[in-house]
Amino acid sequence: MDHAIPDIVIGRLPVYLRELERMVRDAGKTTTSSHELAERLGMSSAQIRKDFSHFGEFGKQGTGYHIHYLIDRLTEILNLTHEWPVALVGAGFLGHALASYRGFQRRGFVITCVFDNDPTKIGKTIGDLVVQDAATLETTLPARGIAVAILAVPADAAQETVDRLVAAGVRAILSYAPVSLTVPPGVHVSYSDPVVQLQQMAYYLSPTIP
């Protein structure tokens, strides 16, 4: 894959994939067009065609896209042709919710181990997983070949935990910690911070004046 492709383009591919799968599941559709996909996603058809053009020809002018083929290609591009084992670090309220969320597995990611450094949590179960001591990160993750992790720890522990995850061979991290993290080249961090996202949306709201 061309690593010069902008991150913002890669970020839209899962959105396209999700919508295409919904079109098959909910409507039984077999073909679509950039115009139809754009209408469903609230974006321009030109943007969709431009995004797809980074990866070759996905359809033909006048005939549109074969949805199953497009799903297969996006799945390959995103390296989702197999399930990825995932380590979850943090077994608090958020960690419990994440470990219980089945949407990850439906999308190709399986939380296979959970870690925490709180003695009152270690040894407890979340679903069918036993919370392990975070002190074993450096030995457990390489042994299991885990390259993906979800971070659900407090901000003051996030950077140290990330450093340990990277040392253990993790190369992709989804962070729920409300802090920016530093990682070496070749490691990708994605952030999910509801507060920041709410603050962004607040920009578009008109203040209510009593």
89 forms beta bridges with 115, 151
pTM of the model: 0.87
Task: Name the phi and psi angles at 200, rounded to 5.
Answer: -65, -45
pLDDT at 3 over 60: no
Q: What is the rounded CA–CA span in Å between residue 56 and residue 180?
A: 35
Q: Return the CATH architecture of domain 7-77.
A: Orthogonal Bundle (1.10)
> What number is the average pLDDT over the span 70-90?
95
**Average of per-residue pLDDT values in the chain:** 91
- 151 forms beta bridges with 89, 175
**How far apart, in whole angstroms, are the C-alpha atoms of residue 203 and residue 210?**
19
Pairing of strands 129-133, 148-151: unpaired
pLDDT in tens, 107-117: 889 999 999 99
* Fold of the CATH domain 84-192: Rossmann fold (3.40.50)
Instruction: Show Cβ contacts of residue 170 under 8 Å, excluding neighbours closer than 6 positions.
Output: 87, 141, 146, 147, 148, 149, 187
Model pLDDT, residue 36:
93
Tokens of 42: 């609230």
Q: Name the segment(s) of the chain with CATH classification 1.10.10.10.
A: 7-77
Listed in order, the ranges of the chain carrying CATH 3.40.50.720 are 84-192
**What pLDDT, on a 0 to 100 scale, did the predictor assign at position 61?**
61
Could you give the percent of the chain with pLDDT greater than 70? 95
